Amino acid sequence: QVQLVESGGGVVQAGDSLELSCVVSGHVFSHYAMAWFRQTPGSERLFVAAITKSGGSAVYAESVKGRFFISRDDAKDTVYLQMNKLRSEDTALYYCAAAAGGVGTRTYEYHNWGQGTQVTVAS
């Protein structure tokens, strides 16, 4: 029913920028709070950023604050994650997630997930 598809991942050098996109289909996009999580092999999925249904406010993990920016375009049913000054520790599989409620930082608060897009930061 509800489907989330991420794109934009790739291999970049440290210090570079990259923008991820997540297109949502199957339901009214504006009814969901949206978030980005990331995960590396053998580790739990961790919160990166989230944005409210209205797009009026956003929350960021401390590790990406000031470098990553989340935004949404309801006309395009898309949420974005602009990543700047990328570091090797940012290397991970990035997931887009949707929640029917408000913004949260825990995986259990999100009911729909994308397939993930890989971001690899060299050096």
How many Cβ atoms sit within 10 Å of the Cβ of residue 56? 7
- Taking Cα atoms as reference points, which of 13, 10, 49, 17 lies closest to residue 33? 49
Dihedral of alpha carbons 99, 104, 108, 113, sign? positive
Measured torsion, CA atoms of residues 90, 94, 98, 103, in degrees rounded to the nearest 10: -10
Q: Which residue type is seen at 49?
A: A
The whole-number pLDDT of residue 8 equals: 98
| Gyration radius (Cα) of the chain, Å | 13
Encode the chain (123 residues) as per-residue pLDDT tens digits.
889 999 999 999 999 999 999 999 987 788 899 999 999 999 999 999 999 999 999 999 999 999 999 999 999 999 999 999 999 999 999 999 999 888 999 999 999 999 999 999 998
Give residue 28's pLDDT: 79
Instruction: DSSP letter for 65, please.
Output: T
